[in-house]
Amino acid sequence: MAVATAPWRLLRWMWRRWWGKIIVLILASPFILYFLLWLMFARGLPSAESLLHYQPELPTYVRDIDGSPAQVFARERRVQLAYGEFPAPLINAFLAAEDRTFFSHGGIDYPGLVGAVIDYVSKSGSGDRARGGSTITQQVAKIFFVGDEYSVTRKIREAFLARRIEATLTKEQILELYMNQIFLGRNAYGVQAAARAYFAKDVAQLTLAECAFLAALPKSPSNYDPVRHPEAALQRRNFVLSEMLRNNFITQAQHDAAVAEPLQTARGGSPDSVRNVGGYYMEEVRRTLIARYGEEAASGPNSVYAGGLWVRSSYDPRMQEAAETALRDGLRRYESGRGWRDPGLSIPLDGWRQRLAGAALGPGYPTWRAAVVLARQGGEIELGFADGSRGTLPASLAAMPRRGTATAAFNALRPGAVIAVERQGESGSTYALRSIPEVSGGFVAEEVQSGRVLAMQGGWDVRGSGFNRATQALRQPGSTFKPIVYSAALDAGMTPASIIIDGPFCANNKCFRNFSGGYAGPQTMRWGLEQSRNLMTVRTANQIGMANVIERARQMDVGDYRSTPYLPISLGAGDTTVLKMVNAFAVFANQGRALTPTLIDYIQDRNGRVIWRADTRPCEGCNAPDWNGRPMPRPPLRTRQVVDAMTAYQIVHMLEGVVQRGTATILRDLGRPLFGKTGTTSGPTNVWFIGGSQQVVAGVYLGFDRPRPMGGYAQGGTIAAPIFRQFARTAFEGMPVIPFRAPTGIRMVRIERRSGQRVYGAWPTSDPRAAIIWEAFKPESEPRRTVAREVVDPAARRAAPTQASNANERRGDSDFLQREGGIY
């Protein structure tokens, strides 16, 4: 007991002396200081354990229909790598430049910290910033927790956190976090993103000199930008190489070879990087993703700009380019000869490059550019472009009249005006003035079998207007709505050969008329659809009841018109979108089975797990590791039938006649089975065409955003159909020629095209305007009354019957169909 109390007696004896108190205070002061600092700065610091589960903000990547990267939605370039994926020269370069004792210290480099304190005291009041002296661990604490504030408080909090991080994470984990998160300029976060941004390479492909350059950037990426400050960047890179040599990370020979290597960086991304196609299609994908998962990290783990999603879309680059070009060419054709349209945009000339880059003018064509007028001198204008280059616009290339005036467009251009121009010749700096149309429109192409949207164009250029007219513009579809009316009529017992009166019709104090005026008397339903006769359509709708028409439109998701069950709806007076109308026509081509138009096939999270899929059909055995010798598994068909299969085929078969001899004969030379329908609304304020093949259906409308008459000459067959024709020439090239498939039960019967009567003794020919055609009927619905060949062809009455014709009469339709290869 005496031995145990002896030290305490000694301490009490020392404490009674003044010098003893001083010694105790000196020995205890570090602990007291540490406790006070912890109490003041570290008590509320976050736990370092959160870094164990840290997931950096990663961009969302979108792939096209072939799986190639097409778009990235990112506010920060970042690619996350594991520690083992960093090459040793790159790690050594960062250690030499930032923290050579990283693997030996405990989070704080005390000699470096003392030097930083001395430097801070010496520069106090001078306005100069003291050197940091931070270890890589401290930089991780700064990046993830305490921020970049220049203060003593931040440094103290940083040091406390560094100790916690070192106690929680391994050195490799700390370095992995650092090299994935550090900002290195060019909007690149992490070494992999920086390698692509500066050298168009992955980190594994970097040379020693390139590794040293990346390690030179954390100190100040903007000051060592190789384009703006090449000398400073080169000096800093060589400094890193010398530090690597001093720390025995490289040999003298490696050092000398790397120093001799010129500093050459890429101005763009890597050749295999995301091409960022942009446009209305990708903007629609972005809106869909934001609506589902949110935009920022606070919205959830799968947000668009932080969640690292991988999105497989149905974007078809070839079809999209064809759609964009066809629509723009169609808009230009409509406005050709109307003079130059002033877009009405101007910007101040101070900082004009940044202002021009943000100006709401989309030039459209790849060869057109947005430019700002910088100055006028005589007969020439100096132009400026967002990339800093300049050009000239001579008066001779801006001589077209300004719209609504008789003066040349050149005279209306003033400094600050933002315009569209096109380079003249392969090279040079001479440009010609171009006019962006005021009329606009929308275009959609959809795959029949799946409902996947292959192409979408919502106007001239999304950079000029983000309003997507393919999905957001509610327009009257006009006569493209008529197939929906006739499909309801077919379900009500009518046939394509039913006779309908094309004559005056009035109801509810409103009288209707045909677009071209006049009457044709009794005609078949087919003829009325092919020639787009309003009176026959509205008479049919009145006969079967508008309730049936509106219900069919609702079933096909064209629109819900139950609150306005009026006869004009049957002529397309109800609002809808291009996307909905294209999908309705695709349903007809899909034998009446429902389709949901989708731009996204499936979505994966950052770990590759599928979190959303458009096609949710089960497929038993599809993921089996081995083949069991049985037939390959297939997912079941989408079986929801919204239109009777035979009714759908009858509509398609009649709409083939629209192309062959109706209002869309301009498409007849495309050399493949096509169906479609033109549309023109009152005014006319909108012109439409919707149609396609057994594989792809596409649709387009043109009209002003604030509807107004387009001119009496504007019709769907003359303005909209040519746009589809131009698209189809490119998009359908190389696509198999497949006839439209008839469902089980359809009966193909020879009829006289105008009367609808059944014909014996004569056969259809390849002439689109032949009197005799094959018509599709449901069982037991074909015409009972017949007409002889002599009635159809009076010349046949004078012709003597031949052995061949007698043989034909003896052979039935079935024999003829088999001999001709069948009718599908």
- Give the catalytic positions in this structure: 98, 479
Provide the strand spans (E) within 254-341: 310-313
Cβ-based neighbours of 34, under 8 Å, separated by 6 or more: none
From the number of C-beta atoms within 10 Å of its C-beta (0-12, 13-18, 19+), residue 87 rates as middle
Q: Which amino acid is at 101?
A: T
Token pair of 349, please?
């000339």
Written as one string, the DSSP assignment of 95-154 is HHHH-TTTTTSSS--HHHHHHHHHHHHHHTTT-PPPP----HHHHHHIIIII-S--SHHH
Rounded Cα distance, 516 and 506, in Å: 17
DSSP state for residue 716 in the 8-state scheme: I
Positive or negative CA dihedral for 358, 363, 366, 372? negative
Residue 395's identity, in one-letter code, is: A
Name residue 692's beta-bridge partners: 675, 697
Q: Residue 473 CA to chain centroid, in angstroms?
A: 18
Residues linked to residue 122 through DSSP beta bridges, in sequence order: none
| Partners of residue 510 on adjacent β-strands | 507
User: CB 128: neighbour CB atoms within 10 A?
Assistant: 10
CA distances from 46 to 43, 49, 50, 157, 168 (A): 9, 9, 8, 10, 13
Is the separation of the CB atoms in 762 and 789 below 8 Å? yes
Q: Own/partner pairs for 531-535, CB < 8 Å, 24+ apart?
A: 531/662, 531/663, 532/479, 532/482, 532/658, 532/662, 532/663, 532/677, 532/678, 533/502, 534/479, 534/571, 535/501, 535/502, 535/503, 535/504, 535/505
Kindly list the distances between the CA atom of residue 755 and the CA atoms of 152, 495, 521, 768, in Å, as whole numbers in the listed order: 96, 13, 11, 16
Ramachandran sector of residue 679 (left: φ over 0; alpha: ψ -120 to 50; beta: rest): beta
CB 186 within 8 A of CB 209: no
What residue has token string 């401290």? 138
For residues 21-33, one letter each, b for 16 or more C-beta atoms within 10 angstroms of the residue's C-beta and e for the rest, the string is eeeeeeeeeeeee
Q: CA-based Rg of the chain, rounded to a whole angstrom?
A: 37
Q: How far apart are the first and last CA of the chain?
A: 110
Backbone angles phi, psi at 357, to 5 degrees: -60, -30
Query: To which residue do tokens 């919205």 refer?
Result: 299
Contact between 78 and 57 under an 8 Å Cβ cutoff? The reply is: yes
d(CA 474, CA 381): 41
Q: Which residues contact 126 (CB under 8 A, 6 or more apart)?
A: none
